[in-house]
Amino acid sequence: MLLAGGVYGLLYFMPNLSAIQFIIISAIGMFGFGFFNIVVWAFVTDVIDYHEYLTGLREDGTVYSIYSFARKVGQAIAGGIGGFAIAMVGYATREAQTQQALDGIHALATLVPAVIYIVVFLILAFLYPLNKKKTIQLAEDLAERRNIKD
């Protein structure tokens, strides 16, 4: 997320790139975002383990379904916000765009993702409670609990 945020922040300060240059540089940022999209699935299993640790119940389906529902709601909200945001910067259909609209679109495509990616990085780095050490300890504690029950 930090890589993605950094690249998109850099793109914000490079407004005069050609389309090819923009795509190449943004692909580097998307690599960081894509890596996060893979890792987030590991977070789901960590949360399932954490839930079991807290409650003593293994509810994989319930945790995953809540996660899946939250993703769908988030995607719907993001789509709506995107439409409102582009209208707020002055985008006009079937007309030549003003410089203000073009600048707004550039900020929406670069600065907004940069800020969001960096905020997500900060949340994961400083607020998310399940770091590597904690998940290893959870696995050991759960294994011990399961062995006691058997």
DSSP string of 87-114, one letter each residue:
HHTT--TTSPPPHHHHHHHHHHHHHHHH
Mean pLDDT over 108-134 rounds to: 94
Q: Angle at CA 87, nearest 5°, toward 73 and 92? A: 135
Integer Cα distance of 98 and 92 in angstroms: 9
For residues 64 and 122, give the distance between their C-alpha atoms in angstroms, rounded to a whole number.
Answer: 24
Average pLDDT over residues 40-50: 90
- Specify the pLDDT at position 150: 58
Which pLDDT value is given to residue 94?
87
pLDDT band for position 147 (50/70/90)? confident
The pLDDT-based confidence of 5 (bands split at 50, 70, 90) is: very high
* pLDDT over 80 (residue 149): no
pLDDT tens-digit readout, 10-27: 999 999 999 999 999 999
Query: Does residue 148 surpass a pLDDT of 90?
Result: no
pTM score of the predicted model = 0.86
Q: Measured between alpha carbons, how far is 144 from 55 in angstroms, rounded to an integer? A: 15
Q: How many CB atoms lie under 10 A from the CB of residue 48?
A: 18
Sign of CA dihedral 129, 38, 17, 101: negative
Q: Quick one: which of 111, 101, 117, 115 has its CA closest to 11?
A: 111
pLDDT computed for residue 81 by the predictor:
94
The average pLDDT across 79-100 equals 92
Confidence of residue 124 (pLDDT cuts 50, 70, 90): very high
Cα-based torsion angle of the residue sequence 47, 121, 2, 107 in order, rounded to the nearest 10 degrees: 120
Mean pLDDT (the chain) is: 93
